[in-house]
Amino acid sequence: MNFVIVTGLSGAGKTRAINALEDIGFFCADNIPPKLISTFYDMSQQAQGTLSHVAIVTDIRGGDMFPLFLKTLDRMKAEYKKFKILFLDANNYILINRFQETRRKHPLTDSCLGSLEKAVKLERMMLRPIRERADYVIDTSNLSTAQLKERISSLFLGNASDAMRIQCISFGFKFGIPAEADLVFDVRCLPNPFYVDSLKHLTGLDKPVQDYVLKSSETKGFTDRLFSLVDYMIPLYCNEGKSQLVIAIGCTGGHHRSVTLTQVLYKHLLSQNLSVSVNHRDIRKE
């Protein structure tokens, strides 16, 4: 049974995540109190013939019951119950904006005397131990609904496996570094197609841009070292039992150099029969 516990910060996109999981065949249940997670696991396992993929959401809405979350996870682990934790995150500014736009009330607002900013900060502090235990962390600050669905599909679509899944992300530094990144590489030092008129409005998915970026000796030196480092580190992460490795490559705007190098790394890892996906976060942004 593939059992996924979805949690994270209020407003970070847990509802969108659970909808995406439902779309790819998961049986989903929202707002399960932490104390009932283990019971729900047992019930799902008994119905394994029909419930082979299960996802539940538990979060701060559990109120006084939420502190039991860590104890529940420890007990399930001691009982050899296999599960994965998907943690949804976003930066504080984005979270506050989302609550203001939807006029929803944050679950901790009353505890913080009506201050939304304090409520967001308090929740982040309370959830830090859970985030540290998470198998998968997705920062939704700059993700559209379609991009989030694509990310979740790449993580969970197909057969359940304990093998580490690798995500290669291109991004633009002016839009911020992906918070979930384990390894971040800055390629702003490489030749920039943006200053070539015929290439400016293309992206790293277009062959003329790829040819321009990859022909330089600087890029060749970078890719040789990048492949060597990543190839060395992946087995070490696997030995540590890491479920997800996020490798982010950034340039200024996330259109040219980062996209090109991310595609090159993706194909390199794919050639080694690794479970790898690619996402160009900022390629459509101005």
pTM of the complete model beyond 0.85: no
Classify 185 as helix, strand or coil: strand
Dihedral of CA atoms 127, 6, 96, 120 in degrees, nearest 10, equals: -20
Amino acid type, 137: V
Residue extent(s) of CATH 3.40.50.300 domains in the chain: 2-156
- Residues 221-247 have pLDDT tens digits of 999 999 999 999 998 988 777 778 999
Q: CA 228 to CA 221: how far, in whole Å?
A: 11
Average pLDDT of adjacent 10-residue blocks, the chain of 286 residues:
93 93 91 91 82 90 78 93 94 93 88 91 93 92 87 72 78 93 96 94 96 96 97 88 88 97 96 90 91
**Is there a contact between 3 and 83 (Cβ–Cβ < 8 Å)?**
yes
Question: Under CATH, what is the fold of the domain 2-156?
Answer: Rossmann fold (3.40.50)
pLDDT at residue 244, as a whole number: 84
| pLDDT score, position 159 | 44
What does the DSSP 8-state code read for residue 83?
Answer: -
Q: Are 52 and 25 in contact (CB under 8 A)?
A: no
For 125-159, the pLDDT digits (tens) are 999 999 999 999 999 998 888 888 888 888 887 54
The rounded distance, in Å, linking the Cα atoms of 101 and 99 is 5
Tell me if 268 sits within 8 A of 214, measured CB to CB.
no
**What is the pLDDT, as a whole number, of residue 175?**
93
Q: What percent of the chain has pLDDT above 70?
A: 97
